Amino acid sequence: MARTAITVASLLICTTELTFAFVAPRQHNSIAPYRPNIIVKYASASSNNELHLLTFDLDDTIFPIDPVIQDANSIMVQTLKSHGYNADNDEIIAASKRIRKQVRERGEEITYSDLRRGSIRCEMERLSTDLASDDVIEAVFNSWLDERQASANRNLFPHICSSLQSIRKQYPSVVIGAITNGRGNPFHMPDVAPYFDFCTSGEDDGVLPFRKPDRGIYEAALRQFRVIMPDCNDIINWIHVGDDLANDVGASAACGAKTIWLTSDNEKGEKGVGFWSTATPAKQFVNKEIYALDGLIGAVEEILLNL
């Protein structure tokens, strides 16, 4: 399944001055025309039990993000060392924070990919007076990204594959998509790739800078659904699954989704941001709460029965 192309801005970073080629304001040149107010209506009567669209958050919803990032960072440091740089991940994290601060002060946006590339460049320039090679930076970044996907596949939560298989069996015409702010991509996770039809990323052209909890990323996902199912009428049943009250429950509900809140990690504290982070407003939009993915199929069935 083809994905929306990701346009990566060039990023030039020097040790004395950080200069960025920032992402331009949102361009609505994605795979389908931009519609600013997409409203999902719900079917009635005989079509109530049909599921048209099921979308998932990725990080901490189908895999735990902490071990995945740890694995990716470890490979990144190893790759830097293989190129002669005695890298320190703490220094890379510090560089990333400095870049974020400068981006924020300028009132601009930067992709996570370019942020990662920039922090790699800073570490290389910290360790050497030679000009950092763009080819080496890209090789290090790709090693990080490849390991991020591989580790995500190794660390998939229990029951995700069996749950997706059950969904496909019970709702054979459903479109299944991923909606993520980050660089996770189910098409690069062999165990779940066969079940997904599309992935919408916060770095996609036509999405950035409107990541979750902005509704823009969900509108982009709906456009991708319309490309896959152009003959589907405007009345669809859509369910979104995620762990974050702000980014998943509140934001998707604002675009018309019914929601399943995965709360297995909630004891760590709510990770929402902005308006939804208060939890109270967002919780009213939780249609079903589950504690593990083996409860997914039952939650979907109950939501559809209650439409």
Q: Is 69 helix (H, G, I), strand (E, B) or coil?
A: helix
Helix (H) or strand (E) holding 11, with range, is strand 11-13
Amino acid making up residue 220: A
pLDDT of residue 21: 31
> In whole angstroms, what is the distance from residue 182 CA to residue 179 CA?
9
CA-to-CA distance for 282 and 266, rounded, in angstroms?
14
Task: Report yes or no: 39 and 256 within 8 Å, Cβ to Cβ.
Answer: yes
d(C-alpha 234, C-alpha 209), whole Å: 27
State the DSSP code for 24. P
Q: Which amino acid is at 88?
A: D
Long-range contacts of 46-51 (CB under 8 A, 24+ apart): 47/235, 47/237, 48/237, 48/304, 48/305, 48/307, 49/304, 49/305, 50/171, 50/173, 50/237, 50/304, 51/167, 51/171, 51/174, 51/237, 51/239, 51/300, 51/304
Q: Which of 243, 223, 192 is nearest to 60 (CA)?
A: 243
The SS3 call for residue 53 is: strand
- Predicted pLDDT at 279: 54
| Token pair listed for 285 | 């939009």
Q: What is the pLDDT of residue 277?
A: 44
Homologous superfamily (CATH) of 31-63+157-305 is: HAD superfamily/HAD-like (3.40.50.1000)
pLDDT of residue 281: 81
Per the CB < 8 A criterion, the answer to whether 157 and 193 are in contact is: no
Q: How far is CA 193 from the centre of its chain?
A: 15
Residue at 94: amino acid letter: A
Spatial CB neighbours of 173, under 8 Å, sequence gap ≥ 6: 50, 52
| Beta pairing class for 53-56 and 175-180 | parallel
* Contact present, 96 and 119 (Cβ < 8 Å): yes
In angstroms, the Cα distances linking 87 to 83, 90, 251 are 10, 9, 38
Q: What is the pLDDT of residue 45?
A: 37
What is the distance of C-alpha 8 from the center of its chain? 16
Cα–Cα distance, 207 to 283 (Å, whole number)? 26
Tokens of 229: 């199912």
Query: What pLDDT is stored for residue 48 in this prediction?
Result: 64
Q: Which residues contact 262 (CB under 8 A, 6 or more apart)?
A: 61, 241, 242, 243, 290, 291, 292, 293
Q: Can you tell me whether residue 297 is helix, strand or coil?
A: helix
Chunk the chain into consecutive blocks of 10 residues (it has 307) and report each block's average pLDDT, rounded to whole numbers: 35 35 33 42 56 98 98 99 98 98 95 97 97 98 99 98 98 98 97 98 91 96 96 90 95 96 61 44 93 97 95
Predicted local distance difference test score (pLDDT) of residue 206: 84
